[in-house]
Amino acid sequence: MRGDKETTNWLNKSLMKQARQKKLSIIAVGVLSTVAVTVGYLLYLYRGQRNPNIRDVKPKSKCYVLTQDLFDKIENWQEELSKDSVMLVLPEVAHLGNHLKLQLSSIEHKIVIFNNSSAVWSAVRHLKKYELVISRDKTSDMPVDLRRYVGQISHI
Amino acid sequence: MSRIVKEYMGLQKRLQTPEFSWISFLAPVDDDDLSEWVCRFQGPSESPFEGFELGLNITIDLEKYPISGGPRVLFEPRTVAHPNVKWDTGEICLDLLKDAWTPIYTLLDVVGAIRDLLADPGLDSPLDLDIAQIYDADYEAYVQIVRYRLEEARLARV
């Protein structure tokens, strides 16, 4: 009887030890996975910072994508465009672009009016300004890769 | 006498003819070294480049020119927005500068071909894909982008 009890105790201890080891293994795998994902993410961020698309961009340069909403919110376009800035006018608000070109004749070359919306995104990629200023409701129209060509996206 | 020396000697006379009145300047950087040249010329009329002066940097391998290779020609970097010009470097994609080069061409032919390319881009193999897409999809916007870039470059030089 005693022998059976000792065997049972030994078996229980052995099973508990195995369970503990399994738990430790799971924790170790979890920790290693977390470390690997974190390192991968940091490398991804680092590569993003080194992205040649935006490497040489002046930090204060801006590209405005003009919508009615944005036009209403900014009062002094002369001041905004006097810096290293450019305005891309969406086809649906071309009349606002024409109005601004007349009003700001000395810097009218900084206002680009589009007839085709897809060409606007190509222009954002080509211009590679640091900050893209765009209405929040237009963000969903942006191609997904656009974020690689600007330093930051702002909504006014 | 090498071919480039002959070209150099006849150049100033040819530049004074009406045929090349659109070239404001084409000369070596240093008279004692004919491997580095600069050129300034007027953008072609009836193109987005009309009214702007453009700059080229020309490098000639004196050992190879003109038999085994033509000149290496770049626009001033970050000046010319064009489907066949790399914006950041000014590199030009033109057959005559690569496979189509033959020793019958001269520096004046090269500059003329580059000027023609400005007015009539090739969209089959663009160096600047985004500018090519704008050219294709919205020519009026392309004209404005080209002129915005040129105007900014001109203001930066002032």
Residue A1 has what pLDDT? 47
Residue range B12-24, pLDDT digits in tens:
899 999 999 999 9
10-residue averages of pLDDT along chain A (156 residues): 62 71 75 67 50 62 96 94 95 97 96 97 97 93 92 91
Q: What is the pLDDT of residue B4?
A: 95
Q: How far apart are CA B145 and CA B103, in angstroms?
A: 36
Alpha helices for A83-151 (secondary structure H): 94-103, 117-127
Nearest to B147 among A109, A118, A125 (CB): A109
Interface of B with A (CB under 8 A): 81, 87-88, 128, 130-131, 133-134, 137-138, 140-142, 144-145, 147-148, 151-152
Total tally of structural domains belonging to chain A: 2
CATH code, domain carrying A136: 3.40.50.11730
Can you point out the beta strands (E) in chain B? 23-30, 33-42, 53-59, 72-75
Three-class DSSP category at B29: strand
User: Based on the domain organization, do A77 and A37 belong to the same domain?
Assistant: no
Say how many C-beta atoms besides its own lie within 10 A of residue B95's C-beta. Answer: 11
Residues A33 and A61 in one domain: no
Q: By residue range, what is the domain housing residue A118?
A: 56-155
The ipTM (two decimal places) reads 0.91
With CA atoms as reference, report the closest residue to A51 among A156, A155, A147, A154.
A147
Domain shared by A65 and A40, yes or no: no
pTM: 0.81
C-alpha closest to that of B150 among B79, B67, B84, B95:
B79
Between the CA of residue A134 and those of A9, A74, B134, what are the distances in Å?
Answer: 71, 12, 20
CATH (domain of B150): 3.10.110.10
pLDDT on residue A42: 57
**Residue B87 belongs to domain spanning:** 3-157
Assign B65 to helix, strand or coil.
coil
Angle at alpha carbon of residue B120, lines to B118 and B123, rounded to 5°: 105
Please check the confidence at residue B44 and state whether its pLDDT lies above 90: yes
CA neighbor of B120 nearest in space, from B23, B52, B48: B48
Does residue A80 sit in the same domain as residue A98? Answer: yes
* pLDDT tens-digit readout, A42-77: 554 544 444 555 556 666 899 999 999 999 999 999
Q: What is the mean pLDDT of residues B39-43?
A: 98
* Co-location of A25 and A87 in the same domain: no
pLDDT of residue A18: 75
Say if residue A94 is in the same domain as residue A126: yes
AA identity, residue B118: L
Both A62 and A127 in one domain: the answer is yes
Q: Which of A15, A35, A51 is the last residue of a domain?
A: A51
Q: How far apart are CA A121 and CA A3, in angstroms?
A: 81
Q: Are residues A22 and A41 in the same domain?
A: yes
Is B113 strand, coil or helix? Answer: helix
| pLDDT for residue A59 | 66
- Calculate the CA A70 to chain-centre distance: 20
- Antiparallel, parallel or unpaired: β A62-66 and A85-89: parallel
Q: Are B131 and B81 in contact (CB under 8 A)?
A: yes
Both A95 and A109 in one domain: the answer is yes
Q: What's the Rg (C-alpha) of chain B?
A: 16
* Total number of domains constituting chain B: 1
Domain match, A31 and A77 both = no
Cross-chain CB nearest to B138 (options A110, A114, A125): A114
Does B93 participate in catalysis according to the annotation? yes
Q: What is the rounded average pLDDT of the residues B65-75?
A: 96
- Which residues of chain B does A122 touch, with a Cβ-Cβ cutoff of 8 Å? 130-131, 133-134, 137
Average pLDDT of the segment spanning B34-57: 98
Residue A112 touches partner B, C-beta closer than 8 Å = yes
